[in-house]
Each structure stands twice: as structure tokens, then as C-alpha cells.
């Protein structure tokens, strides 16, 4: 509701706005359904997204930021290093995730053996928003000619599966909230 009102106010002043969504490969508005009509079976979801979904390009990387105000104190910039079961320390951030993806893809091409590279081995980075599934797809497409068609389909399926679970989790969360609202309240699902 807040976002809807904000966008409406911006439109009153002829200011264009775009939502930034990076936790799934497809934005919900780029799929053939909305939260009310989303298929609950993965096969139907995949079929409709592959047929009618629009996959947008990633936004270009920012190469330069404006300087912060002179009185701005960054403080201590946090880092994210985590122990992943049996794998030791892992560094956080997009750069680290892309390095893992790149290494795994290079390994797969060199050994001609399919590895689990997307999205599961980079799941923590996807989950925390350090890496977008759309960027993973772009990285995979850069080396597509070196992978088999079957492997490309598998990687695409894994990324669409990621989207499916993210969207279904969102719907279930909203349904749970609505179940606890007073009966006279209107639905919060657009």
C-alpha cells in the first residue's frame, strides 16, 4: 500500500519510477501471472514462465559513486564470512559468489562433468541478496556454447525452480498474514 501511494505521488509530479527486484530471475510483473493466479505446481509454473515470461537484462554495474557528504562517517564496514558445513570459511558479497560460479563453471567445462553450480552451491549468496539469479543466468549464457543443451536446460530449470519457491513462499506468507486479519479487512494480495 505504501509503495502504491508513493508511486502514485511520483506520477503526479511526472516522475517515472521502477521497482528493483533481484531475489528472483523473473520479476513477478514479467511473468504471465500475479500472486493470485500463480500455479501451485512447478511443472505448470515452468511451462508458463518459459512460454510467456519476459526475462529482463541485469542493470549495468555502477562503476563510480558520487562522493559521500564530507561529514559522513562510514564507521566499521562489516564483512560476511561464514563457515559452510565441510567447506571452511566462505566470503560474502557478489564478487565472491561470482568467483565461485566462475570456478565451478570452468571446472565443469574442463572436466566435462556436471556439477551443482546454480543456484544451490551459491544459494547463500542468492538468499542474502548478494547475487541475483538474473546475473547467474547472464554468466551462464556467456559460456553457453561450451555447455551441452541438456546442461543449459538443467541450469535454467534450477533457476526457475528458485523463482518458484521464492514466489510460493511469498504467497504463503501473505496468506498466513491474511488469515490473522479481522474478517472485514480486505486482502493484501494485489
The pLDDT value given to residue 63:
83
Whole-angstrom distance, CA of residue 125 vs CA of residue 23: 10
For residue range 107-126, what is the model confidence (pLDDT) as tens digits? 777 877 665 554 456 777 78
Q: Look up cell 549464457; give the residue.
A: 141
Whole-angstrom distance, CA of residue 152 vs CA of residue 101: 14
Question: Per-residue DSSP letters for 39-102?
Answer: -SSHHHHHHHHHHH---PPPPPPP---PPPPTT----PPP--EEEETTTEEEE-SHHHHHHHHH
Q: Is 156 helix (H, G, I), strand (E, B) or coil?
A: helix
The pLDDT value given to residue 48:
95
Whole-angstrom distance, CA of residue 171 vs CA of residue 116: 28
Whole-angstrom distance, CA of residue 162 vs CA of residue 151: 17
What are 89's strand-pairing partners?
83
Helices and strands, number each (H, E), in the chain: 6, 2
Enter the pTM of the model: 0.72
Other CB atoms within 10 Å distance of the CB of residue 133 = 22
Whole-angstrom distance, CA of residue 22 vs CA of residue 126: 9
Which backbone phi and psi does 82 adopt, to 5 degrees?
Answer: -135, 150
CA atoms within 13 A on the CB side of 125: 26
Encode the chain (190 residues) as per-residue pLDDT tens digits.
677 788 888 888 888 877 667 788 898 889 999 888 999 999 999 999 999 999 988 888 778 877 877 887 777 766 655 555 455 666 778 888 888 888 888 877 787 766 555 445 677 778 777 788 888 888 888 888 888 888 888 888 888 998 999 999 988 888 888 888 787 776 666 6
Nearest to 158 by CA among 128, 119, 101: 119
For residue range 156-182, what is the model confidence (pLDDT) as tens digits? 888 899 899 999 998 888 888 888 878
Whole-angstrom distance, CA of residue 173 vs CA of residue 64: 38
Amino acid at each position: 500500500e505504501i509503495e502504491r501511494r508513493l508511486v502514485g505521488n511520483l506520477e503526479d509530479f511526472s516522475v517515472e519510477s521502477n521497482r528493483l527486484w533481484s531475489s528472483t530471475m523473473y520479476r513477478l510483473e514479467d511473468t504471465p501471472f500475479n500472486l493470485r493466479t500463480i500455479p501451485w505446481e512447478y511443472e505448470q509454473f515452468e511451462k508458463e514462465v518459459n512460454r510467456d515470461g519476459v526475462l529482463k537484462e541485469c542493470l549495468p554495474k555502477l562503476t563510480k559513486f558520487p562522493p559521500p557528504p564530507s561529514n559522513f562517517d562510514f564507521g566499521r564496514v562489516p564483512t560476511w564470512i561464514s563457515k559452510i558445513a565441510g567447506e571452511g570459511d566462505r566470503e560474502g558479497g557478489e564478487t565472491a559468489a561470482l568467483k565461485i560460479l566462475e570456478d565451478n563453471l570452468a571446472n565443469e567445462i574442463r572436466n566435462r562433468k556436471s556439477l551443482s553450480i546454480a543456484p544451490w552451491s551459491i544459494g547463500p549468496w542468492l538468499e542474502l541478496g548478494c547475487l541475483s539469479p538474473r546475473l547467474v543466468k547472464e554468466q551462464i549464457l556467456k559460456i553457453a556454447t561450451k555447455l551441452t543443451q541438456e546442461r543449459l536446460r538443467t541450469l535454467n530449470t534450477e533457476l526457475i525452480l528458485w523463482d518458484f519457491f521464492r514466489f510460493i513462499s511469498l504467497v504463503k506468507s501473505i496468506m498466513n498474514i491474511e488469515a490473522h486479519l479481522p474478517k472485514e479487512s480486505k486482502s493484501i494480495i494485489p
